[in-house]
Amino acid sequence: MSTIDEQVEILMSGAEYGDPQTKENMRNELRERLIECERSGRPLRVYCGYDPRTSDLHLGHTITMRKLRQFQELGHDVTFLVGTFTSLIGDPSDKDKEREQLTREQVEENARTYAQQAFKILDEKLTRVRQNDEWLSTLDFADIIRLASNFTVQQFLVRENFAKRIDAGVPIFLHEFFYALMQAYDAVAQEADVQVGGQDQLFNIVVAGRKLQQALGQRPQIAVIMGELLPGTDGEIKMSKSLGNHIPILATPDDMFGKVMSIPDKAMRIYHKLILGWSPSQLAEFDAGLGDGSLHPNDVKMGLAREIVAIFHGRESADAAQRTWDTVHRSGGLPTEMPEEKMVEAEKVADVLRRLGMVSSGAEAKRLMQQNGVRLNDVAITDPFAVVTPAQLPAVLQVGKRKFVRLVP
């Protein structure tokens, strides 16, 4: 059984607030709450929210999930909250323009597999899954006015992303203010002790959430804000599906392996730290090995790709993904195994790519073709109106370096 001080060290590891005093306050509040829980026998109520703006969770989301897992392992009550209502608004945090609004049908479809994806990290038996339309959809306009009366417009306008939009003359729409208000009410509805989130959630959790809880007679939640954000496959910008630099949890083993292999060498350290959970001593050895040449960057990245694939797909799949990578990228050959798709009539290549999920849109198909990223039997397809016919089959259709399908008559 961990002591209170040991729990505090574990649970606050990786947390950053951009202000030493705030961090110290959160640490002290967490310690006090843990002492109370030990005396009463009631575990902390902890949650993190995930908005189903898309159908994929990605590796960046697993950072907060791992923190939730730590709370679970220490015996606390963890909720994986799916933002089925807040997604209808769209979080403006760290965005330089208004988010596209989704329909309820889009949100419900996106959210369908969220919990199962999360159970790749969280203990399913110890995880409470809730959706915030459970309480947010029941609020009427009088409720919204009452909740909004606890905040000033100035509190929202000083947010960095809003301030930048004002300076740039980019509109800020009234409904965007409601997002922080709704997320704050999530904490109230659950009587949360702790909310976990990323740096982009600092305002929503520390300012809005805590303030609304206090205004409505609750003790303010403790914010555990994860200090480092996982960069995407570009190695620079926060992993995001909208930017196309993400690695989905649901990616196939081959695709996941290949995407990890594509990250720049400079990003390997933070992937080892945030995804594999390496300790400071392990990271120090890593730095020393790269520095003195005893570790080769490509070998290290290969090991990283294997470990990440193993987390989500198992060791056998990781080994198979490496064999595929070696075949395609070291030997210049084709994968020994690939999905097959039967074709009985002529079809645009772009339409085939979209139908098989090899691209997300016609625009992506066109862009890849312009970049020589689409090949049929190793011949580049650059015409977005190109057609493949049954007479050309069997043939291998390839997108990028990692996606293959064998088209058969």
pLDDT at 1: 72
Query: Residue 229 pLDDT > 70, yes or no?
Result: yes
Mean pLDDT lowest for which of 24-33, 96-105, 188-197, 206-215?
96-105
Q: Which of 265, 275, 322 is nearest to 295 (CA)?
A: 265
Would you list the DSSP string of 37-95?
Answer: HHHH-PPPEEEEEE--SSS--BGGGHHHHHHHHHHHHTT-EEEEEE-TTHHHH---TT-
Mean pLDDT lowest for which of 118-127, 168-177, 245-254?
168-177
pLDDT at 91: 60
Query: Residue 383 pLDDT > 80, yes or no?
Result: yes
Confidence of residue 97 (pLDDT cuts 50, 70, 90): very low
% of residues, the chain, pLDDT over 90 = 45
pLDDT at 244: 77
pLDDT at 380: 82
Q: What is the average pLDDT across 115-125?
A: 92
- Contact call for residues 270 and 227 (beta carbons, < 8 A): no
Q: What is the average pLDDT across 314-339?
A: 80
Q: Which two tokens stand for residue 56?
A: 């994929």
Which residues in 230-346 belong to E strands, given as ranges? 340-342
Confidence of residue 306 (pLDDT cuts 50, 70, 90): very high
Mean pLDDT lowest for which of 71-85, 198-212, 371-385?
371-385
Q: Confirm whether pTM is higher than 0.85.
A: no
CA distances from 112 to 1, 82, 107, 121, 256 (A): 37, 10, 9, 17, 21
- Contact call for residues 263 and 271 (beta carbons, < 8 A): yes
Query: Residue 363 pLDDT > 80, yes or no?
Result: yes
- Contact call for residues 250 and 56 (beta carbons, < 8 A): yes
Select, from the ranges 10-14, 154-158, 340-344, the one with the highest average predicted confidence (pLDDT): 10-14
Q: Which of 176, 180, 188, 177 is nearest to 205 (CA)?
A: 180
Residues 6 or more apart whose Cβ sits within 8 Å of residue 267: 231, 235
Higher pLDDT, 188 or 389: 188
pLDDT at 394: 80
Model confidence pLDDT, tens digit, residues 241-285: 777 788 999 888 988 998 998 898 999 999 999 999 888 899 999
Distance CA 7, CA 222 (A): 14
Distance CA 382, CA 401 (A): 16
What is the 8-class DSSP label of residue 338? -
CATH 3.40.1190.10 fits 4-226, yes or no: no
Distance CA 65, CA 78 (A): 10
Only one residue has tokens 């090991």, namely 303
Q: Which two tokens stand for residue 313?
A: 């797909």
User: Residue 375: in which H helix or E strand, if any?
Assistant: strand 374-376
Query: Residue 92 pLDDT > 70, yes or no?
Result: no
Match domain 340-408 to its CATH number in 3.90.380.10, 3.10.290.10, 3.10.560.10, 3.20.20.140: 3.10.290.10
Only one residue has tokens 């290949």, namely 258
Burial of 41 (0-12, 13-18, 19+ CB in 10 A): exposed
B/e letters for 194-233, b = 16+ CB within 10 Å, e = fewer, are bbbbbbbbbbbbbbbbbbbbebeeeebbbbbbbeebbbbb
Distance CA 36, CA 274 (A): 31
Q: What is the average pLDDT across 293-304?
A: 89
- Contact call for residues 350 and 366 (beta carbons, < 8 A): yes
Domain map (residue ranges) of the chain: 4-226, 251-330, 340-408
